[in-house]
Amino acid sequence: MDINQILSSISLSTIAVAIWQTRVTLGLDKSSKRKEEISTTLDLCYKIFQNDIIPYYIELISFYDMHQLHFLEEIYIDEEKQILHKPIVEGEEVNLFFKNLMLLFNKMDSFASYFVMNSSIADEYMAYQMQGNAFCGIIERLKGGYILFLIKNKEDYVCLVKLYDIWIERKNKESLNI
């Protein structure tokens, strides 16, 4: 998924946010717990995902492209997530890229924790409707780095992995039903 596709999905999510905010304002959702879930979800999707994660991702991809770091596309992984080909990459730019990639995944893991650790905090399905395409698109674009981090330490990014697995499965099922 390229940056234009992600930005177009953000525009749709902005419309979804406005609709949900209107519903909450008009009191169409009677349950205070439900209102809190919706409010939390909207805050997470807007404040964290759109205002923090997306700009950070765009900056990271711009850095990757500007420095012509094409090694992520050269990482080949089999079905058991074993690295079949890992290019030899070195340099200050590569180290800086991986440091910032780790920070991006940390931000995404934190975002994901609200939806997979305790489902009563925020509405996972509503968040998927607003940010699912962009979230999955980021992981797909950075798949080589994502797999490398997971192979290196299976304990990291537990929430990110769970949410990505839920959302990519849902996304794939939806694409089959079209």
CB 115 within 8 A of CB 124: yes
pLDDT digits (tens), the chain, 178 positions: 666 666 556 555 665 665 666 566 555 545 677 788 888 888 888 889 999 999 999 999 999 999 888 777 766 666 665 555 555 667 898 889 989 999 999 999 999 998 888 666 788 888 999 999 999 999 999 988 888 888 777 788 999 999 999 999 999 998 887 6
pLDDT score at 133: 94
- Residue 48 is given by DSSP the state I
Specify the pairing of strand 83-85 against strand 76-77: antiparallel
Element (H, E) at 145: helix 143-152
pLDDT score at 109: 94
Instruction: Give the Å distances, CA to CA, from 31 to 24, 28, 36, 46, 151.
Output: 10, 9, 9, 22, 43
CB 83 within 8 A of CB 151: yes
CB 121 within 8 A of CB 129: no
- How many distinct structural domains can be found in the chain? 1
What's the rounded Cα separation, in Å, for the pair 44 and 39? 9
Question: Domain range spanning residue 125?
Answer: 3-176
pTM: 0.76
